[in-house]
Amino acid sequence: MKILPGRSMRLPAPAALAVAFLLGAAASAPAATAIERVVSPSGIEAWLVREPATPLIAVDFAFRGGADEDPAEKPGVANMVADLLDEGAGSLDGNAFHERLERHAIEMSFGAGRDFLHGTLRTLAEHRDAAVDLLRLALNEPRFEDEAIERVRAQILATLRRASTSPQEIASLRWWDAAFPGHPYGRQVRGTPDSVTQISADDLKAYARRVFARADLKIGVVGDIDAATLGRMLDEIFGALPQTAELGAVPEAMPQGLGRVIRVNLNVPQTVIQFGGPGLLRKDPDFIAGALVNHVLSGGSLASRLYREVREKRGLAYSVSTGLHPFDHAGVFSGGTATRADRAEETLEVVSREIARLAADGPTEEELAKAKSYLKGAYALNFDSSSKIAGQLVQLQLDDLGIDYVERRKGLIDAVTLADARRVAKRVLAGPLLFAIVGRPAEAIAGDPGAAGAVKVPGALMPAAGVDAAGRRGPVSLH
């Protein structure tokens, strides 16, 4: 995802709104009225949080249909479309388009995930009209010029070449390929060197024509704008798009290859381990209980079981993470870590044992209480800037959680019982997992005097937020 060009702008959250979320929002009148449903004259819906004291406007939006709409033989189309939308539109070539963004300090970005293509717009309120016009052009009249296509193609191919030697990327891509064979989720969001080379301007235009539509559009807006003005703005940006998209049917899926261990030999200082299996859809009634169980296992807490057993007791890894990834058509539980090559098998055994132990016995009452407290308290961090709030408004709509979810969320967490958590721990964690391990094989390090001194590199994890090369949705916070 690119942010071009403009100055970096951190958009502060409205103080009253931040306080409401920090207080849990369960019984707060301000929170009950903070999110406003706006419908434009032509019927386009957006969720709005007004803040007239802040002279900024943040817009987030997402179209259903992301990389899962790529042609099977040409993965990478959605990703290339996202990279090219700000490379010229209407009568403006790429240079002229960027010059206008720069002149008004407007930030515009686009990105593709497995299930959606998303975009953001950040502008000063005084430059709203210019920002609206540029976004309208980008979505309705992208140029997809040959020069820009070849430049972006070269950038993507360079990224793919770097990824081909990264143990984290190799582990991720091998895992997803084995977990979802023949399914769109098994394909690479960025594509492959062969597929990216073959993508044409006609492929890009066809994707935009099929996917960019009003019926499958979710929008969140925060800042200095009222409902009537926003309604007119929505029609100006999105009103000329088709009403309905032409999306293909994506089958429901579950991770495959469970119980299998994929090993890739690579001469690197650390061995990367990625693992996963079936998770939960966001609409599953057990999802909140699953998020609590995951937090007990590893979810961002120094007191989590995996952190304690893998790092504190044994010093096997700098960090270890797991998460629930609710896609539209599959729920995934996955995690990863990196360790010294000569201790990879021990790390694998410890991780597997702790997952199995939590599946068998479930969390303790104290662990569940701490997980509830953390997930309730940490939620406010998703609302500490206008940009984050706008993103949350879109995510809540994509997950179909309802405009009052922020107020109901605390009660939903509190309603999870110890019996619920133990039942869901068995449901999510009891089955076999698929492992992908990338590093030096055991026979290569036997007797190597340098192996025990391998440097521990922080952060060699499967990414836990946003969308990576495999197109995951981020599981960092419980929406």
Task: Identify the H or E element spanning 320.
Answer: strand 317-326
The answer to whether residue 131 is domain-embedded is yes
- Whether 314 and 347 share a structural domain: yes
The answer to whether residue 166 is domain-embedded is yes
> Angle of helix 287-297 relative to helix 405-414, nearest 10 degrees?
60
- Whether 288 and 234 share a structural domain: no
- pTM here is 0.87
- pLDDT tens per residue across span 20-76: 443 444 334 334 348 999 999 999 999 999 999 889 999 999 999 999 999 999 999
- Whether 82 and 167 share a structural domain: yes
The answer to whether residue 471 is domain-embedded is no
116: pLDDT strictly greater than 80 = yes
Which residue from 167, 120, 153 is spatially nearest to 2, judged by alpha carbons?
Answer: 120
Per the prediction, the chain carries an average pLDDT of: 88
Q: Which amino acid is at 348?
A: L
Which residue from 374, 349, 406 is spatially nearest to 30, judged by alpha carbons?
Answer: 406
Report how far Cα 121 is from the mean position of its chain's Cα atoms: 18
- Whether 234 and 273 share a structural domain: no
Domain count, the chain: 2
Dihedral, CA atoms, 422, 329, 185, 351, nearest 10 degrees?
0
The answer to whether residue 478 is domain-embedded is no
Q: CB-based contacts of 15: which residues, under 8 Å, 6+ apart?
A: none
- Whether 206 and 85 share a structural domain: yes
- Whether 233 and 282 share a structural domain: no
The answer to whether residue 256 is domain-embedded is no
- pLDDT tens per residue across span 240-273: 999 999 999 999 999 999 999 999 999 999 999 9
Domain boundary among 238, 270, 295: 238
The answer to whether residue 251 is domain-embedded is no
CATH of the domain at 116: 3.30.830.10
Q: Is there a contact between 454 and 340 (Cβ–Cβ < 8 Å)? A: yes
- Whether 205 and 283 share a structural domain: no
What is the phi/psi pair of residue 143, to 5°? -85, -35
- pLDDT tens per residue across span 350-397: 999 999 999 999 999 999 999 999 999 989 888 889 999 999 999 999
- Whether 40 and 144 share a structural domain: yes
- Whether 219 and 338 share a structural domain: no
8: pLDDT strictly greater than 90 = no
Domain that residue 302 falls in: 261-453
Which residue from 446, 471, 451, 431 is spatially nearest to 275, judged by alpha carbons?
Answer: 431
The answer to whether residue 196 is domain-embedded is yes
Which residue from 460, 298, 318 is spatially nearest to 371, judged by alpha carbons?
Answer: 298
The answer to whether residue 17 is domain-embedded is no
pLDDT above 90: percentage of residues in the chain? 81
- pLDDT tens per residue across span 144-178: 999 999 999 999 999 999 999 999 999 999 999 99
- Whether 161 and 288 share a structural domain: no
- Whether 328 and 196 share a structural domain: no
If you search the block for the tokens 């769109």, which residue do you land on?
Answer: 184
Assign 56 to helix, strand or coil. Answer: strand
If you search the block for the tokens 């929505």, which residue do you land on?
Answer: 234
Task: Identify the H or E element spanning 477.
Answer: none
- Whether 154 and 210 share a structural domain: yes
Report the pLDDT averaged over residues 318-347: 95
